[in-house]
């Protein structure tokens, strides 16, 4: 069995985001990067399947982006992926989901992967399109937002999370693609021997341009902080002071006391 | 009449050959017993504890003959020390008689056991025997009647008490029966030099000479066999501590306290990290189990044990011993249990008090290393999150790394990237950088420095967690990653001195980083501020206040710094009332050993227990010197219901209020 896991490296969500110079995306300076949370579930689930099958499947992890994404790739290798493909794209943020999916599909087309795992969406762009687009481009079935996954005899049984807490069960024949959601598993912490083994695993470097020259179908026009709207006020002090303050507010800002 | 006595009186010189043959047999038996123990110890990994032999011997002699460690705790310890000295004196006296009778007399025709020397010899030995009996009695009452909490009595204890008591009593009975026939009649003045023997002789004298000499001969053989029996059972019973505990005062480490082995992460041949089985530990770790006397002093002081958590440092040591003896190939971690390992705050109270120089903490850390590095385990999901946060943002809170220096805006400090012309680098640490309460402490420290004319720099967003909590949780890999980055950053500036407000950063930078080729002098702010005051660079206007003071584990026990912080607080006008547990006996706040990240789910709360101790002094202020302690005490005051009665204040806050500008 051959498995492909697609991961993205994203900024930590606690970072301070500022629009970049052209105000089309965020400025990458002073940001801490990590593996997209949903992709961690994808990696973990692929490795669990490999373990279930006694280590037979070969897992390839793929990531598109500048040099920094090597860190996310190394983590996936340390968790248990066997080999990696780094598709170099210094301006990854300028590539929209259709282009990213085209690059991945171009890479995967002739590789006969039985199963493809991706995150449900990325934490930064959040389009939730890449996984399903890759499946469409490869002409294979896919299902999204997995909170449960089982594989037996070439059939995937997936539990999907729908709106309002409703869950559905889906069966797909491989080859297939699934996108992973919070709740599917809790990713392991890589052990040191595996971190050390990961240093020796093969990482293939490819250029994004060599795989696909698809033009963007969408574009980001502007990127800015949301405008500040009215905010709540927290009053502090003794009861007497609080009464005073509330009175002032009622007098100044409302018509109740007039 | 001359003051001496006939050795081998009544039993005759004919016994000498048999006696020595039996002695050789007993010593050989003991040697074989120790050889069996040696096989057990040898299962461990190699470790050099035979360097600096002169220093080691010196330390051993002082510890053993001075009974320095065992007598630190008066309960039990005093009895033990006096018993030891008594028994040792008897052993020395017996050896002297042996030398006199079988060496000096036959070869040189010399008798040193005569005259005044003999008189004092008799007196000293009698007194020693009496002291030994009384102390043994005291230990007997303590163990079997008072039964201190946690003291475990095993079959060995009954046997050893009986054996020692019989040896001592038969010794006096032999002396008494001999004296009743000889000295009492022939030289009553000399008999008084053996006061205990004299009493026994008086009591026995009515039996008549014939019966007495028969009794004497029988007891002499009985006493000899018991004495030799004692020697032969040493390696097979608790008595082995005579050699192993003494040996441990030779084998104890010379490295600075708190030294942890730094794993070479470049060495790709290492396949096992930490300890999951006996053979992953060192031979010294296994030897330690044999050196343990189950005195339970460690257990008495363990903050985890005393708050009903599943950890007893003594039981960890004992478990290692029993696994090494019975099933060395498997099950070490299962026997010790992960819950026990994660409960440790690495406060070091166990190790500090141990009369046997056992190294508890590093064994726990080695087993934690296995859990973390080999199994990817954590004591809880909150710890996993904190660890991930350190990986990504360099702090356990998950705050953006770029905001690390934000606390210092508007304060008298420069960011090293912008201006590195400073007197000291303040390594603020995660808590001073991000935690609201501890930011105040940091700001006050900067005000103190400014008042003393000290130019301070911080690394700001270039600083990362020092790595201490994750290292103590067993994550050597992450520790070395953040340490390497900090070291590289600091080396990029010409830093003369680093000051920290966190004892954990202080320990790590000043000791652990030394293994990673970092040698900038590092100091804790308590000693630094004390020097500013002593050198009159910082002027304070003392305002009277009453307080009690908490010695943080990593400043006190680990770094022996007790006086300076007290001196600083006193020069600020403070009147100190000590807690019952202070100095080396201080009680942990609960946050060491990476526990600062972990929820305390087992047993009761350590911080509440410590805050309770502080409130028992009746003082309104609890002064601390550590961000972890401050955090835990703020919490303990709230959850323990001490609000309004007790306030915790950091040393820097108290000092900063009294600055003369």
Residues B139-148: tens digit of each pLDDT:
999 999 999 9
Q: How many domains does chain A have?
A: 1
DSSP for A76-94, please give it. Answer: HHHHT--EEEEEE-TTGGG
Residue B485: partners with Cβ closer than 8 Å, 6 or more residues away? B394, B464
CA B105 to chain centre: 47
Closest-approach residue (CA) in chain B for A35: B392
Instruction: Decide the pairing of beta strands B424-427 and B498-500.
Output: parallel
Q: Determine the Cα–Cα distance for residues B323 and B468; give it in Å rounded to an integer.
A: 30
B272 and B367 part of one domain: yes
Give the pLDDT mean for B614-634: 98
What share of chain A has pLDDT > 90, as a percent? 82
Residue B158: inside a domain, yes or no?
yes
Give the pLDDT mean for B612-639: 97
B360 and B392 part of one domain: no
Residue B109: partners with Cβ closer than 8 Å, 6 or more residues away? none
| Pair of tokens at residue B68 | 């320095």
Min mean pLDDT across A50-59, A139-148, A161-170, B615-624 is at A161-170
- Across the interface, of B372, B381, B399, the residue whose CB is closest to A14 is B399
Min mean pLDDT across A226-235, B104-113, B334-343, B524-533 is at A226-235
Contact B359, B351 (CB under 8 A): yes
Residue A216: inside a domain, yes or no?
no
Residue A34: inside a domain, yes or no?
yes
Q: Answer whether residue B330 shows pLDDT above 90.
A: no
Q: Determine the Cα–Cα distance for residues B467 and B483; give it in Å rounded to an integer.
A: 6
Residues in B touching A18 (Cβ below 8 Å): none
Distances (CA, A) of B57 to B62, B64, B328: 9, 10, 31
Contact A33, A70 (CB under 8 A): no
- In the three-class reduction of DSSP (H, G, I as helix; E, B as strand; rest coil), residue B250 is classed as helix
Provide φ and ψ at A35, rounded to 5°. -70, 135
- In the three-class reduction of DSSP (H, G, I as helix; E, B as strand; rest coil), residue B456 is classed as strand
Residue B2: inside a domain, yes or no?
no
- Across the interface, of A32, A186, A189, the residue whose CB is closest to B400 is A32
Residue B308: partners with Cβ closer than 8 Å, 6 or more residues away? B602, B603, B604
- Across the interface, of B265, B268, B392, the residue whose CB is closest to A12 is B392
Q: Determine the Cα–Cα distance for residues B355 and B293; give it in Å rounded to an integer.
A: 9
| Pair of tokens at residue A97 | 């989901």
Calculate how close chain A gets to B393, using CA atoms only, in Å. Answer: 6
pLDDT of residue B327: 83
- Across the interface, of B381, B384, B393, the residue whose CB is closest to A12 is B393
Task: Kindly report the CATH number assigned to the domain that includes residue B311.
Answer: 1.10.1060.10
What share of chain A has pLDDT > 70, as a percent? 100
Asked if A15 and B273 come within 8 Å (Cβ–Cβ), the reply is no
**What is the number of CB-based contacts under 8 A between chain A and chain B?**
53
Write out pLDDT tens, residues B527-542. 999 999 999 999 999 9
B530, B551, B570 - which closes a domain: B530
Residue A38: inside a domain, yes or no?
yes
Q: Determine the Cα–Cα distance for residues B22 and B430; give it in Å rounded to an integer.
A: 67
Long-range contacts of A159-167 (CB under 8 A, 24+ apart): none
Give the pLDDT mean for B558-572: 98
The reply to whether B402 touches chain A by the CB within 8 Å rule is yes
Q: Answer whether residue B316 shows pLDDT above 70.
A: yes
**CA neighbor of B457 nearest in space, from B505, B518, B499:** B499
Closest-approach residue (CA) in chain A for B271: A193
Asked if B400 and A15 come within 8 Å (Cβ–Cβ), the reply is yes
Write out pLDDT tens, residues B175-204. 999 999 999 999 999 999 999 999 999 999
Distances (CA, A) of B162 to A29, A31, B227, B230, B239: 77, 73, 13, 11, 13
Residues in B touching A193 (Cβ below 8 Å): 271, 273, 373-374
Residues in B touching A15 (Cβ below 8 Å): 400, 402
Residue A219: inside a domain, yes or no?
no
Q: Which of residues 163-222 of A touch B (CB under 8 A)?
A: 186, 188-193, 195-196
Residue B511: inside a domain, yes or no?
yes
pLDDT of residue B29: 97
Output Rg (C-alpha) for chain A, integer angstroms: 23
Q: Determine the Cα–Cα distance for residues B48 and B380; give it in Å rounded to an integer.
A: 36
Q: Which helix (H) or strand (E) holds A49?
A: helix A37-52
Provide φ and ψ at B507, rounded to 5°. -60, -45
B409 and B324 part of one domain: no
pLDDT of residue A257: 78
Write out pLDDT tens, residues A186-212. 999 999 999 999 999 999 999 999 999
Residue A220: inside a domain, yes or no?
no
B511 and B598 part of one domain: no
Distances (CA, A) of A177 to A128, A136, B82: 13, 10, 79
Residues in B touching A34 (Cβ below 8 Å): 391-392
Confidence of residue A20 (pLDDT cuts 50, 70, 90): very high
DSSP for B588-647, please give it. Answer: --S-TTTGGGS---SSS-HHHHHHHHHHTTT-SEEEE--HHHHHHHHHHHHHTT-TTT-E
Q: Answer whether residue B569 shows pLDDT above 90.
A: yes
B530, B547, B576 - which closes a domain: B530
Give the pLDDT mean for B382-397: 97
Min mean pLDDT across A145-149, A252-256, B96-100, B404-408 is at A252-256
- In the three-class reduction of DSSP (H, G, I as helix; E, B as strand; rest coil), residue B457 is classed as strand
Residue A106: inside a domain, yes or no?
yes
pLDDT of residue A142: 97
B/e letters for B479-510, b = 16+ CB within 10 Å, e = fewer, are: bbbbbbbbbebbeebebeebbbbbbbbbbbbb
Closest-approach residue (CA) in chain B for A189: B376
- Across the interface, of A32, A33, A188, the residue whose CB is closest to B376 is A188
Residues in B touching A189 (Cβ below 8 Å): 372, 376-378, 384, 387
Asked if A31 and B402 come within 8 Å (Cβ–Cβ), the reply is yes
Q: What is the pTM of this model?
A: 0.93
Q: How many domains does chain B have?
A: 4
- In the three-class reduction of DSSP (H, G, I as helix; E, B as strand; rest coil), residue B608 is classed as helix
- Across the interface, of B394, B402, B476, the residue whose CB is closest to A16 is B402
Asked if A30 and B273 come within 8 Å (Cβ–Cβ), the reply is no
pLDDT of residue B619: 97
Give the pLDDT mean for B314-336: 93
Task: Kindly report the CATH number assigned to the domain that includes residue A62.
Answer: 3.40.50.620
DSSP for B546-596, please give it. Answer: EEEE---TTTTTTT---HHHHHHHHHTTEEE---SS-GGG----S-TTTGG
A175 prior amide bond cis, ω within 30: yes
How many angstroms separate the first and last alpha carbons of chain A?
77
DSSP for B37-67, please give it. Answer: HHHHHTTSBP----SSHHHHHHHHHHHHHHT
The reply to whether A12 touches chain B by the CB within 8 Å rule is yes
Write out pLDDT tens, residues A119-167. 999 999 999 999 999 999 999 999 999 999 999 999 999 999 998 889 9
- In the three-class reduction of DSSP (H, G, I as helix; E, B as strand; rest coil), residue B211 is classed as helix
Q: Which of residues 199-228 of B touch A (CB under 8 A)?
A: none
Residue A126: inside a domain, yes or no?
yes
CA A48 to chain centre: 19
Distances (CA, A) of B391 to B259, B270, B384, B427: 24, 23, 11, 19
Asked if B273 and A12 come within 8 Å (Cβ–Cβ), the reply is no
Instruction: Decide the pairing of beta strands A2-7 and A33-35.
Output: unpaired
| Pair of tokens at residue A153 | 């005899």
DSSP for B305-330, please give it. Answer: GGGT-S--HHHHHHHHHHHHHH-TTS
Contact A190, A81 (CB under 8 A): no
Write out pLDDT tens, residues A214-248. 999 998 889 888 888 877 888 888 899 999 999 99
Q: Determine the Cα–Cα distance for residues B433 and B413; give it in Å rounded to an integer.
A: 13
For residue A226, give the DSSP letter.
Answer: P
Q: Determine the Cα–Cα distance for residues B95 and A66; give it in Å rounded to an integer.
A: 81
Give the residue from B271, B402, B464 with the most A CB atoms within 10 Å of its CB, the best one to mutate. B402
Residue B310: partners with Cβ closer than 8 Å, 6 or more residues away? B337, B339, B340, B343, B602
Give the pLDDT mean for A66-87: 97
Helix extents (H) in B466-518: 468-472, 476-491, 503-510
B282 and B397 part of one domain: no
Write out pLDDT tens, residues B480-497. 999 999 999 999 999 999
B336 and B390 part of one domain: no
Calculate how close chain A gets to B406, using CA atoms only, in Å. Answer: 12
Asked if B401 and A192 come within 8 Å (Cβ–Cβ), the reply is no
Domain that holds residue B398: 382-530
pLDDT of residue A163: 87
Q: Answer whether residue B1 shows pLDDT above 70.
A: no
Asked if B400 and A14 come within 8 Å (Cβ–Cβ), the reply is yes
**CA neighbor of B105 nearest in space, from B5, B3, B184:** B5
B294 and B193 part of one domain: no
Output Rg (C-alpha) for chain B, integer angstroms: 31
Task: Kindly report the CATH number assigned to the domain that includes residue B203.
Answer: 1.20.950
Residue A230: inside a domain, yes or no?
no
| Dihedral of alpha carbons A247, A251, A252, A255, sign | positive
Give the residue from B267, B275, B372, B392 with the most A CB atoms within 10 Å of its CB, the best one to mutate. B392
Residue where the block lists tokens 């594989």: A151
B30 and B167 part of one domain: yes
B590 and B639 part of one domain: yes
Domain that holds residue A157: 2-211
Calculate how close chain A gets to B473, using CA atoms only, in Å. Answer: 14
Confidence of residue B630 (pLDDT cuts 50, 70, 90): very high
Taking 3-state DSSP, the helix, strand and coil percentages for chain B, each rounded to the nearest 5, stand at 60, 5, 35
The reply to whether B477 touches chain A by the CB within 8 Å rule is yes
Contact B507, B629 (CB under 8 A): no
- Across the interface, of B268, B378, B402, the residue whose CB is closest to A30 is B402
B135 and B219 part of one domain: yes
The reply to whether B378 touches chain A by the CB within 8 Å rule is yes
For residue B513, give the DSSP letter.
Answer: G
Task: Kindly report the CATH number assigned to the domain that includes residue B579.
Answer: 3.40.50
Asked if A12 and B400 come within 8 Å (Cβ–Cβ), the reply is yes
| Pair of tokens at residue B290 | 């044999």
Q: Determine the Cα–Cα distance for residues B656 and B443; give it in Å rounded to an integer.
A: 9
B165 and B226 part of one domain: yes
- Taking the CB of residue B562, how many other CB atoms lie within 10 A of it? 18
- Across the interface, of A31, A33, A191, the residue whose CB is closest to B376 is A191
B27 and B144 part of one domain: yes
Q: Determine the Cα–Cα distance for residues A41 and B87; give it in Å rounded to an integer.
A: 68
Q: Which helix (H) or strand (E) holds B221?
A: helix B209-233
Could you tell me which residues are beta bridge partners of residue A25? none
B326, B343, B374 - which closes a domain: B374
Q: Determine the Cα–Cα distance for residues B179 and B341; give it in Å rounded to an integer.
A: 60
- In the three-class reduction of DSSP (H, G, I as helix; E, B as strand; rest coil), residue B649 is classed as strand
């Amino acid at each position: 069995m051959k498995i492909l896991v697609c991961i993205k490296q994203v900024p930590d969500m606690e970072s301070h985001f500022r629009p970049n110079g052209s105000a089309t995306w965020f400025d990458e300076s002073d940001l801490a990067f990590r593996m997209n949370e949903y992709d961690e579930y994808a990696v973990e689930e692929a490795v669990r399947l490999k373990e279930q099958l006694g280590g037979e499947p070969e897992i390839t992890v793929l990531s598109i982006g500048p040099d920094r994404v090597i860190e996310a790739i190394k983590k996936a290798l340390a968790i248990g992926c066997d080999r990696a493909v780094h598709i170099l794209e210094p301006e990854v943020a300028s590539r929209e989901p259709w282009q990213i999916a085209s690059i991945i599909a171009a890479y995967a087309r002739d590789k006969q992967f039985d199963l493809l795992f991706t995150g449900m969406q990325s934490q930064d762009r959040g389009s939730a399109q890449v996984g399903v687009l890759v499946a469409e481009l490869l002409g294979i079935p896919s299902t999204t937002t997995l909170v449960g996954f089982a594989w037996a005899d070439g059939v995937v049984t997936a539990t999907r999370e729908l709106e309002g807490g409703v869950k559905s069960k889906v069966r797909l024949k491989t080859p297939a693609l699934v996108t992973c959601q919070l709740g599917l598993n809790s990713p392991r912490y890589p052990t040191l021997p595996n971190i050390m083994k990961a240093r020796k695993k093969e990482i293939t470097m490819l250029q994004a341009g060599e795989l696909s020259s698809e033009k963007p179908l969408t574009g980001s026009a502007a990127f800015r902080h949301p405008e500040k709207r009215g905010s709540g006020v927290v009053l502090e002090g003794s009861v007497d002071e609080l009464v005073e303050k509330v009175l002032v507010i009622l007098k100044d800002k409302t018509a109740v006391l007039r | 009449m001359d003051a001496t006595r006939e050795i081998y009186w009544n039993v005759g010189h004919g016994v000498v050959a048999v006696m020595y043959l039996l002695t050789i047999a007993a010593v050989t038996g003991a040697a074989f017993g120790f050889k069996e123990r040696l096989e057990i110890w040898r299962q461990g990994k190699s470790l050099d504890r035979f360097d600096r032999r002169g220093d080691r011997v010196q330390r051993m002699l002082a510890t053993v003959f001075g009974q320095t460690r065992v007598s630190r705790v008066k309960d039990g310890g005093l009895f033990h020390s006096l018993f030891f000295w008594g028994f040792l004196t008897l052993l020395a006296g017996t050896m002297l008689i042996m030398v006199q009778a079988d060496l000096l007399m036959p070869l040189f025709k010399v008798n040193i056991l005569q005259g005044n020397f003999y008189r004092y010899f008799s007196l000293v030995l009698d007194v020693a025997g009496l002291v030994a009996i009384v102390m043994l009695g005291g230990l007997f009452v303590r163990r079997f009647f008072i039964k201190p909490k946690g003291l475990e009595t095993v079959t060995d204890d009954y046997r050893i008490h009986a054996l020692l008591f019989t040896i001592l009593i038969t010794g006096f009975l032999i002396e008494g029966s001999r004296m009743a026939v000889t000295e009492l009649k022939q030289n009553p003045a000399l008999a008084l030099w053996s006061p205990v023997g004299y009493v026994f002789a008086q009591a026995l004298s009515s039996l008549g000479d014939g019966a007495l000499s028969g009794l004497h001969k029988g007891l002499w053989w009985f006493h000899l066999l018991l004495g030799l029996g004692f020697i032969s059972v040493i390696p097979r019973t608790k008595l082995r501590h005579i050699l192993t505990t003494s040996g441990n005062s030779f084998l104890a480490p010379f490295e600075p306290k708190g030294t942890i082995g730094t794993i070479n992460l470049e060495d790709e041949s290492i396949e096992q990290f930490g300890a999951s089985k006996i053979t992953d530990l060192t031979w010294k770790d296994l030897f330690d189990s044999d050196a343990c006397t189950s005195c339970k002093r460690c257990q008495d002081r363990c903050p985890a044990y005393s708050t009903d958590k599943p950890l007893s440092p003594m039981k960890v040591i004992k478990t290692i011993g029993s696994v090494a003896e019975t099933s060395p190939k498997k099950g070490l971690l299962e026997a010790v249990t992960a819950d026990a390992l994660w409960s440790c705050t690495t406060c070091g109270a166990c190790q500090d008090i141990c009369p046997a120089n056992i190294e508890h903490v590093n064994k726990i850390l080695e087993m934690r290393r296995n859990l973390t590095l080999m199994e990817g385990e954590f004591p809880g999901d909150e710890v996993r999150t904190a660890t991930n946060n350190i990986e990504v943002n360099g702090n356990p809170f998950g705050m953006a790394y770029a905001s690390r220096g934000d606390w210092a805006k508007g304060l008298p400090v420069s960011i090293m990237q912008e201006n590195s012309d400073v007197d000291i680098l303040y390594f603020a640490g995660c808590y001073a950088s991000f935690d609201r309460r501890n930011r105040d402490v940091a700001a006050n420290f900067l005000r103190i420095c400014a008042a003393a004319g000290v130019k301070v720099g911080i690394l700001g967003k270039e600083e990362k967690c020092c790595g201490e909590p994750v290292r103590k949780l067993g994550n050597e890999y992450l520790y070395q990653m953040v340490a390497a980055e900090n070291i590289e950053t600091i080396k990029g500036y010409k830093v003369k001195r680093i000051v920290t407000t966190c004892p954990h950063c202080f320990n790590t930078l000043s000791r652990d980083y030394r293994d990673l080729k970092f040698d900038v002098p590092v100091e804790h702010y308590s000693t630094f501020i004390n020097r500013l005051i002593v050198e009159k660079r910082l002027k304070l206007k003392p305002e009277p206040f009453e307080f009690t003071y908490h010695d943080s584990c990593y400043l006190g026990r680990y770094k022996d710094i007790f006086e300076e912080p007290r001196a600083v607080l006193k020069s600020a006008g403070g009147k100190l009332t000590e807690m019952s547990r202070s100095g080396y006996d201080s009680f942990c706040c609960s946050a060491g050993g990476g526990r600062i990240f972990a929820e305390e789910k087992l047993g009761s709360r350590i911080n509440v227990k410590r805050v309770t101790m502080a409130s028992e002094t009746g003082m309104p202020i609890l002064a601390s010197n550590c961000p972890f302690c401050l955090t835990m005490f703020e919490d303990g005051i709230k959850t323990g219901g001490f609000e309004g009665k007790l306030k915790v204040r950091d040393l820097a806050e108290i000092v900063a209020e009294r600055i003369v500008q």
